[in-house]
Amino acid sequence: MLQAVVFDLDGVLLDSEQLWDAARRAVVADHGGQWRDEATGAMQGMSSPEWSAYMRSRLGVATSEARIVELVVSDLLAHYDHELPVVPGATEVVRRLGAQWPLALASSSTRVVIDHVLGLAALGDAFGVTVSSEEVARGKPAPDVYLAAARGLDVTPGGCAAVEDSTSGIRAALAARMRVAVVPNPHFPPPDDVLASADLVVHGLIELTVDVLGALGGVDARLDEEEAESFPASDPHSDWAGEGG
Which residues are catalytic, by number?
Answer: 8, 10
Distance CA 145, CA 107 (A): 7
The DSSP symbol for 104 reads E
Which positions ≥6 away from 202 have C-beta within 8 Å? 181, 182, 183, 208, 212
Alpha helices in the chain, H assignment, sequence order: 17-30, 39-43, 48-57, 65-82, 90-98, 111-120, 144-153, 167-175, 192-196, 210-214, 225-229
Whether omega before 141 lies within 30 degrees of 0, making that bond cis, reads: yes
CB 180 within 8 A of CB 170: yes
